[in-house]
Structure 1
Amino acid sequence: MGPLGIKHVVVSLLLVALLAFRLQAGTAEQHLSSDEIDQANARLIELITTPSSSLHAGAASLTLPKPLGPRTLPLYAQPKAKILLLGRGGQVRAAIATVDTLHIPDPSQKVIRFTVASAAEITPERVLVVANHSHAGPRLPSGLAMRLAFGDAEIKHAQLIDLFDKLTRKALRHYEPARMGLAEAAMPNYVGGRAKGAQVSIDNKIRLALLQSKHQRTILWSFAAHPTLVNRHHPKSDGDYPARVAHLLQLEKDADFAIFLPGLTAQATPATVRQVDDYAALIASAVSGLVLLAENNMQSEARVHATEMEISIDPALPIPLIGRPFVLAPWATARLGSSDRKIKLLQLGPLRLVGLPGEPSHALIGSSAKNAWVVGMAGFGMGYLVPPEDAHRPPERDLVLLGAGDAQRVKELIQILRDGGAQVSNRTHPGQ
């Protein structure tokens, strides 16, 4: 057995040792409680009743520090940290902070949120922190199990604090009135299913928001294809295709900043082209075309507001030999590096972002709309959010986040928050 096999066994044994002594409760369908529906509707009303005023924005980007350890940075398209400050009437109301990395564990997320909030003079709940999910990106400080699985941290919390303080203050210097526009297009040939021989539904659209101010041109864009074209064991710390797309858009002067938000990435992978530079060139060309479309529907008045809500779910890990998922005890979950149960919400003019910890699937969540995106990796969950019928499919099989009942509840919650109040049953169900 090689080193990787030994490491996998050690991690598996550690996970089993940390498990609570109960199985995930069957496959009985569970629904949102009346209180949860009321809370979701209250958050939705909070977003859509925020006063509209003059949109302001300011962005900044900095290369991440050289990784601790043997890995180095690539010559170009280096992994970066980025920030976008958003507000109305001149006052910062929200921020989006991203890191070109696989995931952002809870301690690192809190460090980033509090650092940005302090510099921008907003509350931490108004800072949406997202990993671009590049598998070869630098590792942030995490729990013991994740260190055993992926390796020690390559960036320290002190470096994150310094980095995001500088980023936020830099973005504040460029914070000014802006206009925004939206566009989207299907890219069916360039995203496909990860499970071999299985037919799963995939979100194939690229979605884009353009923010144009006097001195900056910033793109928010979202796509479902997993950033796995560069292996996580690569000798260089790499931001995968999203970092290359940003680099190309800057070279072509299509954007000063291009901020990638992973979409419904569970079960989705780059298709047709597997060489990372070629794939990035194709995606960058599509994004560039969407910029032209977005320019035709720009607006300067916007609602800007951010909030969050907690959902009561049991994080579950399947044990293949048993065939049923175990439920983690809260203390065990914390030691694995995650206690995030919050859904983040950000209203930006006509666009609503619904940020989930972990990786949602199209089969569970359904299609995002042009003006309502579901964003994965917005916080650190334990794995994939897929429907029960897909929980056995590799490669997601070993890191399915939700049991069957919780999967249905998350689906119903997203319908409310994304679709603006989809009809969800209010009746009380047995066992709730």
Structure 2
Amino acid sequence: MASRRRLLRSLLPFALLTAGAAYAIASWNWCGRWETRPPALMLNTRAEGALKVGAARVPLQPPFPVVVAGYPPPRPEASQAAPAPHARAVVVQVGEVRVGLVSLELLSVTANLVEPLRLRGAELGINDVLVFATHTHSSLGGYDSRLVAQIAGTGRYRDDSLSAVSSAALEALRQAAATLTDATLEVGEAREPGFVYSRSGGEPPDGVLTRVVFRGASGPVAELLLLAAHPTLVPRQHASVDPDYPGRLSELREAGGGVVLVLQGAVGNASVAFNEGQGVERAAAFAQALSGLVDKAVPSAVPGPTRLALARAEVALPRPDSSRLVPALTRAAGDNFLCHSSARVAAVNALALGPLELLTLPGEPTMGAGQVLLQRTGATRVLGLSGDYIGYVDTPEQVAQKAGESKRQYFGPTLLERLGAAAQSASEAAGFTREP
């Protein structure tokens, strides 16, 4: 026993030295120079005239067994899908301008999913493709190679997971582009604030559902349902990959014809307040309730000609800031970890479709952040989880107070200002007509 104590005492200085060296190395500024520059306009296309629309849906085929994404570890592995997640695509054409919208029943989308879709879209004559995640927290993971994503939500990266998602998305886009037909545009809106609540304070979610119908000669070709409510109804420990309420809502509405895409709005602090049933039964019941809300959003026809415009502005992101995520002692190491996995630029899109003027962001804006962007640009709606994933986006006031969803925000208090500058540039280029 005495010899063991002497050995431990002799090793203690070495252990302390090793720990100190590791701390010093981890605390070194590995981020390097973080670029700052104004927004750059990367895309600007517009047309006005007759509307054509094509749509398709394709099942995702997970490479079972596959990790269930959505929560920190430990994560369950699933060996089946019930119901199956899907990739859905709508291609909209006015004149010579074609825009693709792709919705994936996943937690998030990333650049390694989006870029191949844009390249494939170009081959199909599509000017650009906007890719969205429904943000379900019970679908397959493994498709994001970034370390912070693997740890925080999507699980260990696997080439076959990425390939499965990419294949379904590409096929849905191809089928949608091949089925273009004459269509008219209809828009409706309904509100049910009782369906949602703010899980973290700040500006409460408004419960607004916007319904966009593309109607062909024989009925609906496609619908877009825009709302904000976190799809976290399916239990964390679940043996099946599950699309949560967005997938169920799409399937319910598709029974009436057409392909239905569910797109998340300012979802950062929007949680579901609907409490009928538990787990998958709750997800199914909420989808039914939302379908009833869709019925109340009676769409009105938008007279032609149809306006279609898309502009994209890219802006440098502020340096990652882990001060709200980790203890002060490990702040430098936390910053280094985020720098290794974080994007250095973000793209904001401005899409004008008839009377709708939509902003799309690569993260989870809160309702407060969304309102700031609406006021700055005059947009109709803000859509999140598009094109990439940069985490939560909250207001500078919440960041300064370390409150709300800013406690999960990867970047510092200037994040919303940077994105707002890009949104303003894109919205002006797209010809948004509403006054900010």
Common fold by TM > 0.5: yes
Separation in structure 2 between the aligned mates of residue 54 and residue 219 of structure 1, nearest angstrom: 18
Opposite residue 147 of structure 2, the aligned amino acid is L
**1:211-222 to 2 correspondence within 5 Å?**
211-215=214-218, 216-222=220-226
| Cα drift, residue 397 of structure 1 | 4.4
Q: Percent identity?
A: 21
Aligned partner of 2:207 in structure 1 is 204
Q: Does 1:170 find its partner at 2:175?
A: yes
* TM-score, L = length of structure 1: 0.77
Aligned partner of 1:3 in structure 2 is none
Could you tell me which runs of 5 or more consecutive residues in structure 2 were left unpaired when the two chains were aligned.
1-21, 66-76, 277-281
**267-276 or 142-151: bigger deviation:** 142-151
Choose between structure 1 and 2 for higher RCO, CA contacts under 8 A separated by at least 6 residues: 1
Q: Does 1:182 find its partner at 2:187?
A: yes
- Find 1:130's aligned residue among 129, 132, 146: 132
Aligned partner of 1:385 in structure 2 is 393
Q: Does 1:353 find its partner at 2:358?
A: yes
Q: Does 1:83 find its partner at 2:86?
A: no
Opposite residue 60 of structure 1, the aligned amino acid is A
The answer as to whether partners of 1:88 and 1:302 remain within 8 angstroms in 2 is yes
Opposite residue 63 of structure 1, the aligned amino acid is P
- Find 1:277's aligned residue among 276, 281, 284: 284
Separation in structure 2 between the aligned mates of residue 299 and residue 152 of structure 1, nearest angstrom: 49
Aligned partner of 2:341 in structure 1 is 336
What's the CA shift string for 1:67-123, capped at 9, x where partnerless? Answer: 4324144443x211011111113x4511011110001122122223223332x2234
| Cα drift, residue 51 of structure 1 | 3.3
Separation in structure 1 between the aligned mates of residue 426 and residue 151 of structure 2, nearest angstrom: 36
What's the CA shift string for 1:177-229, capped at 9, x where partnerless? Answer: 1101111122110010112xx45332321111111112543111111111111
1:159 alignment partner, SS class = helix
Separation in structure 2 between the aligned mates of residue 81 and residue 175 of structure 1, nearest angstrom: 18
**153-162 or 377-386: bigger deviation:** 153-162
| Cα drift, residue 413 of structure 1 | 4.8
- Find 2:368's aligned residue among 363, 366, 372: 363
The answer as to whether partners of 1:82 and 1:97 remain within 8 angstroms in 2 is yes
- Find 1:288's aligned residue among 267, 277, 295: 295
Equivalent pairs counted in the alignment come to 384
Could you tell me which runs of 5 or more consecutive residues in structure 1 were left unpaired when the two chains were aligned.
1-12, 26-31, 425-432
* TM-score, L = length of structure 2: 0.76
Aligned partner of 1:399 in structure 2 is 408
1:342 alignment partner, SS class = strand
Aligned partner of 2:233 in structure 1 is 229
Separation in structure 1 between the aligned mates of residue 215 and residue 393 of structure 2, nearest angstrom: 34
**304-313 or 413-422: bigger deviation:** 413-422
The answer as to whether partners of 1:97 and 1:129 remain within 8 angstroms in 2 is yes
Q: Does 1:259 find its partner at 2:246?
A: no
Distance change (3 Å), C-alpha of 1:299 and 1:325: farther
| Cα drift, residue 142 of structure 1 | 2.4
Separation in structure 2 between the aligned mates of residue 24 and residue 325 of structure 1, nearest angstrom: 18
Separation in structure 2 between the aligned mates of residue 82 and residue 225 of structure 1, nearest angstrom: 19
Separation in structure 2 between the aligned mates of residue 241 and residue 24 of structure 1, nearest angstrom: 43
Opposite residue 105 of structure 1, the aligned amino acid is T
| Cα drift, residue 153 of structure 1 | 4.2
Separation in structure 2 between the aligned mates of residue 211 and residue 112 of structure 1, nearest angstrom: 23
**1:302-313 to 2 correspondence within 5 Å?**
302-313=306-317
